[in-house]
Amino acid sequence: MGASCYSSKNHSQKRFSRIESCTNGWIQNGFFDLHELLNECVEIKLSLYLSNQHHLQILWNDVTTELVQQGENLKSQTLKKLVRRGIPDAHIKDLFYALFDYSEYEFSNHVKCVFPIEIPNEFVQIPTFSENTQLTDAVLKIYLNPEGKSALSRIMWTLSNYHNSTLCYSPQVINVGSLLLIYMNEEETYETLSTMIKLSQKKKELVSKYFTSSQEELGIMTGMITKIIRHKCEELIECLEKKNTKFEDCVVKILQSFGVGYFPFTFLSRLLSVFIIEGNKALMKVIISVFIAYSETIISSDCEDFNEELKTLFFAISYSDVIFTKAFKIRFTKYNFDDMPTKITTKMARKLYRPFLDKKFHVLKEHIIERLWVELPNLYRAYGPKCIYSSSEHGTSLRTLYRITDEYQEKTPMIFIVLSQNKEVYGIYIDQALQKHKDYIGGTESFMFQGDPIFEIYRCVGNDTMIALVKDKMICFGGGNHGPALCVNEDLSIGQSYPSQTFGNKPFGSGYFDIVSCELFVLGS
């Protein structure tokens, strides 16, 4: 996969024949409601929208006919100029086909590797590739219905598995993916994003082609925008500083969200198409142009919450030609790159994935969940923990615990966790329900962990047939000549620990400790 080169007449005709034959039926898979998108959310009159689309359609048909006829003379620069003038929504999907190659099976193969047992239809949370778990709120509320949210979730979880090292800090990817789902199906959206990520890795300039690879890159983009605005309209930045607002912070939020929540759909649609062709440079130019266009209004505003004021102001954009025309007159020179900061003051250290919790638990604290969840199999990272047993609520009895676990299927993964009198936390993730059995149960994906005072993971290193022994009078995890990694008695009051051959662990605590609380969680739908 990769960007296509327009090198032959036949190749050009093949690419653009889709554009000529395209119908107006650009809605894909029912991921959103068009009338809600245009009337309620973006407050654009449908008649105005359709009139604009008709105008763009006429222009697009005339120019693409000439492009196909050029054959070998077809240049990417010509296509760039065409896209800058605006693309009718009916043809945006075909722009992607003209630029990228698609594999019929890439997404299906990748998603099966990430979710080998079951592909979830619903997710508690999705990776945002940043420190901000709320980045997705705007796009999820404005654009996507439940089916669209599920498609986006599967795409993001699969991307996080196959491009984890590249997407260390790439918050833009989630909202770009959301916008792509408006025009493409789930498989096409994944492959488009995957190709854009690969092309971003081949950067030769200061910033990546499409998606940032680190918070430093986002800092560089923010610095470039700020530097040009300061040069063209220093009064704007000085005005914000007097209101105790950092201009850089406002820019960061727009970059992180790709403008979703700030700009109306028609504006975002046009921004997406030029972004596909020109990448982050186009994104930065458009943001600069918007701030310059609204600088006088911003300076005269007496609003206290400036970020919300920006959203209200920019969301009212109804005619974008002037903004985009001026944006493409902006040139990035060596001056723009000199003395460019590589870090920004806004806190953006990426947090590990942590699911949303409907309540706080006594033993399984949030800081433990944050470390524990990245160790789980990919399928179960997408789910939040559901507490089915707590000694503080159900009493201290293995019999009660077993009665509860018997209600679940045998292959239901669980997390058992205990808190010692010395405030030490120990537990196990086991890929099978804790139900009584004459033999050991559990598979090799199971692992022991210590949650407090320090976090440590102990995976299977030895006898992987001795994961969990679940009996009436006790429950033990691991085994070998020296004993189990953790053994708990019938009334869940005493814990014993040994250096087990199964997990290669050191004895937990002193090896013998009083248990003050324990909890059991299930994972999965």
The domain boundary residue, chosen from 99, 114, 142: 99
Task: Judge if 503 and 377 occupy the same domain.
Answer: yes
Q: Is residue 443 part of a domain?
A: yes
Q: Are residues 390 and 516 in the same domain?
A: yes
Report the C-alpha gap between 299 and 191 in whole angstroms: 43
Give the pLDDT confidence of 344-380 residue by residue, as tens digits: 433 433 444 556 566 778 888 877 887 788 788 877 7
pLDDT attached to residue 434: 95
Residue 231 and residue 160 in one domain = no
pLDDT at 205: 63
Q: Specify whether 243 is located in the same domain as 388.
A: no
Give domain status of residue 308, yes or no. yes
Q: Does residue 466 lie in a domain region?
A: yes
Same domain, 88 and 112: no
Same domain assignment for residues 420 and 495: yes
Contact between 273 and 83 under an 8 Å Cβ cutoff? The reply is: yes
Predicted pLDDT of residue 218 = 85
| CA distance to 402, 452, 489, 508, per residue, from 417 (Å) | 15, 11, 14, 13
Q: What is the CATH number of the domain that holds 119?
A: 1.10.8
- Of the candidates 294, 224, 299, 310, which has an alpha carbon nearest to the alpha carbon of residue 261? 310
Question: Going residue by residue through the chain (525 aa), what tens digit of pLDDT does each one get?
Answer: 333 232 333 333 444 333 333 334 444 556 665 555 555 444 455 566 667 777 777 767 666 555 555 543 445 666 777 788 777 777 777 777 777 777 767 788 887 777 766 666 666 566 777 765 555 554 555 677 778 888 888 888 888 877 766 677 888 888 899 888 888 888 888 999 988 888 887 755 667 888 887 788 888 888 889 888 888 888 888 888 887 788 888 888 899 889 888 888 888 888 998 898 888 889 999 999 999 988 888 888 777 667 777 888 887 786 678 888 899 888 876 555 555 544 443 343 344 455 656 677 888 887 788 778 878 887 777 677 889 999 999 999 999 999 999 999 999 999 999 999 999 999 999 999 999 999 999 998 999 999 888 889 999 987 678 999 999 999 999 998 889 999 999 999 999 999 999 999 999 988 999 999 999 999 865
Which tens digit of pLDDT belongs to each residue from 117-140? 666 666 656 677 776 555 555 455
Token duo for residue 281: 């440079």
SS (H, E, C) 478-518: CCCCCCCCEEEECCCCEEECCCCCCCCCCCCCCCEEEEEEE
Domain that holds residue 222: 215-337
Report if residue 90 sits inside a domain. yes
Find all residues with CB under 8 Å of 505, minimum gap 6, and list them: 448, 458, 478, 485, 497, 499
Rounded distance, CA 278 to CA 100, Å? 14
Q: How many CB atoms lie within 10 A of CB 507?
A: 16
Q: Is residue 383 part of a domain?
A: yes
Is residue 33 located within the same domain as residue 111? no
Q: What sign has the CA pseudo-torsion 88, 89, 92, 94? A: negative
Q: pLDDT digit string (tens) for 277-295?
A: 888 889 999 999 999 988 8
- State the total domains in the chain: 4
- 370 and 467 share one domain: yes
The model's pTM is 0.64
Residues 333, 414, single domain; the answer is no
Is residue 332 a part of any domain in this protein?
A: yes
Note the pLDDT tens digit of each residue in 82-103: 788 777 777 777 777 777 777 7
What lies within 8 Å, CB to CB, of 408 at 6+ separation is 388, 433, 435, 522
Cα separation, 328 vs 265, whole angstroms:
20
For residue 253, the domain's CATH number is: 1.10.472.80
- For residues 231 and 77, what is the distance between their CA atoms, to the nearest angstrom? 29
Q: Enumerate residues 6+ apart whose C-beta is below 8 A from 205.
A: none
- Confirm if 370 and 489 have CB atoms less than 8 A apart: no
DSSP state of 40: I
